[in-house]
Structure formats: structure tokens, C-alpha cells
Amino acid sequence: MRLLRRNDTGRKILSGLFLALLAGVGFLLIGSTGCREVPVDRLYALQLDHAPTENDWMTALPRQVAVRGGFRNMPSRLGAIDEDTVHTSTASCHHGAALPDPVVVDLRAFYTARDLYIRLSWSDPTRDDHLRQWQYDGKDWSARPGFEDGFGMMWDAQGSFPQFSCSYACHIEDFGVSGANFHARNRMRLARENSLVDLWNWKADRTGRAGFVDDRYLTMKSMEPDVPGDIFHPNSVYAQSGREPFVQGDAPLYDYDEQPIASAFRLSGSVAPGYLVDPPVAGRADIRATSEYRDGGWTVVLRRALDTGDRRDVVFVPGDEQGVSYGLSIMDNTLDQHYASSTEEKLVLMAKTQLPRGDVK
């Protein structure tokens, strides 16, 4: 491999790392501290003095993570939920790779003096970002059966799990859906005492519309939001009086502009959101997100402070060669049946002192 001299640009260094990562081989750095090989089975974040631009993302170091075990837009997913159903529908969590084809997620990352940026891109032939959306036929409102796409990232916030992956957070038999309300009674939890996992959950409709990622954490007891309270509410007249929402005769309260449905004449074909979302506050609003569905796939960019000051949140430390372990899951038009990673994945924030100062071979 040819030598890159001191007066070559840093972008050439990135190009070399990029090619090495694609080839699946180690990349040898020769700098002031001598030779060392950079492992390629990592997601690397390099430092910028600005928020990443589209050109930055194009030249970023990619990490391809395969997630397995989910299902593509299966109808009638909400049958009786029992222990056998759970273990079948979340095969990746319990049994490793399953028969459905894996989904490959492209991850790239940068950081600044204050923030971490992560971009996730994956193929999805259908855009599902209208959870129980209402539609008006000129006389009555009806709720569509659609769910939403999404993903979850779990972080070993305390560095206490060996070979960390999604398998450390398992569903148990009472995972299910509460009637027509479609609130997953999620009983994800950890099997170990005195342990904690930082959980980031992006939902294409509910959090995507508001530009954030739901910041939660897992313990042996349960899964909880960083700030207690339910911020997702059925947009339903019936729900206001404690009745089952989204059934025949029900109707929405507000439109997408947050205006009361009864305040204006509605044309046939008008739509309204299935859920209303309260703006997250304090620690639940730590992670901002921009998302785009284009050319048969999702691209979501996350931004979070390197250190939020919350003991339940993972801290990202530039120069830490061990990095932070994470697990990844992808949801395709579902609330429960997800694809999940089974390999050990790490994010490493490379400090400028870790990049070569002299020649690079």
C-alpha cells in the first residue's frame, strides 16, 4: 500500500480506513507512538469542528450491522400472545439467526467537542409512519390498521456485560398488546441485578414527527423512560371517556395541525394522526433526530451530548480505545416483532492523537 505523507489531507487517511473497513482487514497506523493495527469490527467516529454535512457522511467510516429474526409487514400480528408466540416472533433475541432474510444497517458516526452524531440507513420497501392513522370518508372516521417502522439502540452504559448484544434484554411471556389501544405492554428487562442499559427508541410516527428519540433505560425490574410519564396518547374521542379507542363509531380529537376536528369542515379523504405526542422534556429530550424515507429506505441522523450528566445515560469518551458496546434492533411496521443484532458491536470515538501524525501504511 502506498505511503501517505504529512502534507496529504486527512481525507486521504479516511479513504484508506474506508477501504480497509470494506475489505474487512486491519488498517496499520504508523505514527509517533509506533505501529498498531486498528480493528475493523467497530463503528468509528472521527472528530469534526462542525455538525456533519452530507459530504462528511458520504466519506464517513461505515459499519455494516446485520439484524435478524424479524418479519416484513405481516398482517394480523396481534393474535393471542403467549410464551410460545413470543419466543417464535422474536427469534433473534432467544435463538440467534432465524429464517427471515437479515436486514443490513449502515451506521456512520462523527462527534464534535460537545455532541455525538450517528447516522443509520437501511432498506425498507414500505414507508410505515402512520400508526393507526384516521381517515374520513365524508361521513365517518375510521382508524387504519397500520403500525410504524422504528429502531432501538441499547448501550452497555456501565460496561458491565461481556460480549454485549440484544440478548441481554429479553421479552418475557407477558409481552403483548393491550386491546385496540395498541400500547405494547413491554416487559423487556435485564436478567442481572444491579445492572443498567441505556435504551434509545426511534418510532417513525410518534417520535419521528416530533424529531426526537425516546430516551429510556432497562433494569432487572423493568423498562422506564428517563422522565416518568406517558407522552403518547390515543387521538380518540372514546379514549377520553375510558372507552376502547379506534373502534367503529370513534373519531379523532385533533388533526395534524393540532386543531380540533370539530373546528372546521372536513373533506372526504381527510386524515388525522392516530396518536398525540407530548413534547419530551429534560432527560427524555436528550436525543434529537432527523429522518427521511427515500429510494426504498430510511435514513435517520441522531444527535446527543457526549455526556448528559444523567447517571443512567451512556457517556461517550473520545480516545477510549475500548469504546462502548451496543445492540441494534429494527422494527418494520410492527410494535413487537423486531430484527435484532446478535454480534458484539462497539462504538469508538477516535481522538485526534490516535490518528497518524507521520506516515500511514
Q: Mean pLDDT over residues 235-261, rounded? A: 97
pLDDT for 331: 92
The owner of cell 423512560 is 225
The CA-atom distances, in angstroms, between 173 and each of 82, 182, 310 are 6, 17, 31
Q: What is the pLDDT of residues 99-139, one digit of tens each?
A: 568 999 999 999 999 999 999 999 999 999 999 999 999 99
SS (H, E, C) the chain: CCCECCCCCHHHHHHHHHHHHHHCCCEEEEECCEEEEECCCCEEEEECCCCCCHHHHHCCCCEEEEEECCCCCCCCCCCCCCHHHHHHHCHHHHHCCCCCCCEEEEEEEEECCCEEEEEEEEECCCCCECCCCEEECCCCEEECCCCECEEEEEECCCCCCCCCCHHHEECCCCCCECHHHCCECCCCEECCCCCCEEEEEEECCCCCCCCEEEEEEECCCCEEECCCCCCEEECCHHHHCCCCCCCCCCCCCECCCCCEHHHCCCCCCCEECCEEECCCCHHHHCEEEEEEECCCEEEEEEEEECCCCCCCCCCCCCCCCCCEEEEEEEECCCCCCEEECCCCEEEEECCHHHCCCCCEC
- CA 274: distance to chain centroid? 21
pTM of the model: 0.80
Q: What is the pLDDT of residues 165-196, one digit of tens each?
A: 666 555 443 333 333 333 334 455 555 566 78
Domain 42-72+101-130+148-221+284-349 has CATH 2.60.40.1190: yes
pLDDT at 98 > cutoff 60 = no
Alpha-carbon distance of 348 to 361, in angstroms, equals 21
Question: Of 280, 323, 287, 60, which Cα lies nearest the Cα of 151?
Answer: 287
Question: Cβ atoms within 10 A of the Cβ of 107, count?
Answer: 21
* Domain boundaries along the sequence of the chain: 42-72+101-130+148-221+284-349
pLDDT for 2: 35
Question: Of 1, 5, 4, 33, which Cα lies nearest the Cα of 20?
Answer: 1
Local confidence band at 85 (pLDDT 50, 70, 90 cut-offs): very low
Q: Is 210 exposed, middle or buried (0-12, 13-18, 19+ CB in 10 A)?
A: middle
Kindly report which listed range (1-15, 192-206, 231-245) carries the lowest average pLDDT score.
Answer: 1-15
Distant-in-sequence, close-in-space partners of 257: CB < 8 Å, separation ≥ 6: none
